[in-house]
Structure 1
């Protein structure tokens, strides 16, 4: 683990909707209420919280998929600003994504799906390197297969290889095991942890699953768009207990 900062959020706010001054109605919803955090390179962080806590919004703003209403986001020391075209280019060069739905192109082979981010970024396509990454995720013999010829767990492995091929500053994973059975989920989580431990990648994972969170180095807890806690060296039991407590606190607040 290094001391280099991979991701920083400075007072990031995200507000949806607007106030209508003609009839004094306010339809604004604050999804993020001033989040500040710093994550070192080479770390695995899980983000958790009750439904509506702002987890997905945090990921989207941190990954440049959505613009914050206020505040600043830095990935690999670079602030994410500029036009949509500039943001798209920045994401292609500095950020990797793993989603719950694998988002593989059915007409492309496994190898072609993995090298696609390099082609889109106009970078030199090193098929040998992509093949080595696929070998590392256990798919070295499936390079010419199409996604529909693979199991769900294997498709997610392809998505992980695709996320790693550009050597991104940060990989964002949004419920990466949500569509998988327990055995496949554990295999995928092990691969994500290996990407951090062995290859030095930085991983931020949104999940609702305490078992998935237990694979991370630390867990950030959100509630009402605010960062309300952090847990180092998490266990599934400790995470589940903290989530239950958070839910109870929100119920009491709403009562």
Structure 2
């Protein structure tokens, strides 16, 4: 399958210096759902931010839908992001003064595109929000707010949707609803979803899990189960901790 998102030799170094990404090359195929996981500090959030054009890598290249995002200037990058990239964040990022429908329309307005009322209504209906279209975010549950965020990401028909810990602030039931919704975004809408998560249960909704450790790729897992993901994460945690961490783990298990 063609990669909708392609990262080539991506490096990101912060002051310190701290190497958050160290030569990562990975592709995310069209119509796929990929979870990105790793121990704390592994670089997974940095990878998402660089891949989505929210931050510039120190070196390397990012391609989205065949266009090199890293070759664009800041203004061009912002315009491209508005046209071709959707976002779902842990804290929803909804504007409290706007209604559900107005929040969903916002990306189109920012991109200078005229919203199609029929398309807006269709997305709201598909996501179970038609009867809440005139409500403001404060009157919605956490799960409903995240549904609005997904609707907002979908309405611009992006090449890829990046989700950063989308279930981190939700209860178990709402988290399952949002993950099922993201799964349907891939299966029914044929979109590409890249999700950063720390939760093995959430990762099990994906087609593939990509693992990071110390800013480098540390393998992948297709058709993941929560148990398999948890086992791989525990192994990565031991490797990152080093011999002392592995010994402590072994002592705890004994």
Shorter-chain TM-score: what band? over 0.9
Runs of 4+ in structure 1 off by over 4 angstroms are none
Deviations 1:194-216 (A, max 9, x none): 00001000000000000000000
Report the Cα distance in structure 2 between the residues aligned to 1:246 and 1:47, rounded to whole angstroms. 13
Report the Cα distance in structure 2 between the residues aligned to 1:89 and 1:189, rounded to whole angstroms. 28
Structure 1 alignment gaps of length 5 or more:
18-26
What is the Cα deviation at residue 254 of structure 1?
A: 6.4
What is the Cα deviation at residue 157 of structure 1?
A: 0.0
- Tell me the residue number matched to 2:234: 244
| Secondary structure class of the residue paired with 1:141 | helix
**CA RMSD, aligned part only?**
0.9
Deviations 1:37-81 (A, max 9, x none): 111100000000000000000000000000000000000111002
- Tell me the residue number matched to 2:252: none
- Tell me the residue number matched to 2:42: 53
Choose which of 163, 182, 187 in structure 1 pairs with 2:177.
187
Report the Cα distance in structure 2 between the residues aligned to 1:251 and 1:52, rounded to whole angstroms. 12
| Secondary structure class of the residue paired with 2:230 | helix
Deviations 1:81-124 (A, max 9, x none): 22211111010001000000011111111011001000000011
Is contact 1:115–1:127 with CA below 8 Å preserved after alignment?
no
Q: Does 1:65 pair with 2:54?
A: yes
Q: Does 1:97 pair with 2:87?
A: yes
- Tell me the residue number matched to 1:145: 135
| Secondary structure class of the residue paired with 1:124 | coil
Q: For residues 1-255 of structure 1, what are the structure 2 equivalents within 5 Å?
A: 3-17=1-15, 27-80=16-69, 81-253=71-243
Report the Cα distance in structure 1 between the residues aligned to 2:221 and 2:72, rounded to whole angstroms. 34
What is the Cα deviation at residue 4 of structure 1?
A: 2.5
What is the Cα deviation at residue 252 of structure 1?
A: 2.1
Report the Cα distance in structure 2 between the residues aligned to 1:125 and 1:254, rounded to whole angstroms. 57
Structure 1 length normalisation: TM-score?
Answer: 0.94
Report the Cα distance in structure 2 between the residues aligned to 1:254 and 1:73, rounded to whole angstroms. 37
Q: How many residues align?
A: 244
Report the Cα distance in structure 2 between the residues aligned to 1:225 and 1:10, rounded to whole angstroms. 14
| Secondary structure class of the residue paired with 2:7 | strand
Report the Cα distance in structure 2 between the residues aligned to 1:236 and 1:128, rounded to whole angstroms. 39
